[in-house]
């Protein structure tokens, strides 16, 4: 495991995620930053909220892959995202009213068990620039 994945702590990993669609629903993509690694991927036609959840699923799977199963179990993950809805749903503060989000919520809920802990933190969009840039890059490339 490379030390560059972690900031100044070898047991806490900061992850940034973003998902977006052009149109709602519309062509959608995810952007994820795990340590110093960036990922962007087209995910088809989805709503903004579905894209946000899919970015989170991708990020947790990628973190587990990069860390390895044993290291993941001892790692605290802090997921920073600009979707207040998703963060509040995962914190149990908002109900999940949209049926399409329920299976994605359950997937994230179960993925949390692969780590020592997972904390979901809402941040302003301007503090999520790298993940947001990945979303826009993927969508811009698809359009051209």
Tens digits of residue pLDDT in 57-93: 999 999 999 999 999 999 999 999 999 999 999 999 9
pLDDT at 3: 47
Domains annotated for the chain, with CATH where assigned, are 3-139 (3.30.420.10)
Strand partners, 18: 31
Average pLDDT over residues 33-40: 96
Radius of gyration, alpha carbons of the chain = 14
pLDDT at 25: 96
* pTM (predicted TM-score): 0.93
Q: Is 50 exceeded by the pLDDT of residue 122?
A: yes
pLDDT at 128: 98
Q: Is 90 exceeded by the pLDDT of residue 9?
A: no
Q: Is 70 exceeded by the pLDDT of residue 21?
A: yes
What mean pLDDT is reported for the chain?
Answer: 94
CB 62 within 8 A of CB 39: yes
CB 85 within 8 A of CB 94: yes
The DSSP call for residue 115 is S
């Amino acid at each position: 495991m490379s030390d560059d994945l972690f900031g100044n702590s070898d047991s806490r990993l900061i992850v940034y995620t973003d998902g977006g669609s052009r149109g709602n629903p519309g062509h959608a993509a995810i952007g994820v930053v795990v340590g110093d690694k960036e990922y962007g991927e087209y995910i088809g036609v989805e709503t903004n909220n579905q894209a946000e959840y899919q970015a989170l699923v991708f990020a947790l799977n990628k973190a587990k892959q990069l860390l390895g199963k044993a290291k993941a179990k001892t790692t605290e993950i802090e997921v920073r995202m600009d979707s207040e809805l998703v963060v509040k749903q995962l914190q149990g503060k908002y109900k999940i009213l949209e049926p399409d989000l329920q299976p994605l919520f359950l997937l994230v809920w179960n993925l949390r068990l692969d780590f020592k802990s997972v904390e979901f933190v809402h941040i302003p969009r301007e503090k999520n620039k790298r993940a947001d840039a990945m979303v826009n890059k993927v969508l811009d490339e698809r359009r051209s």
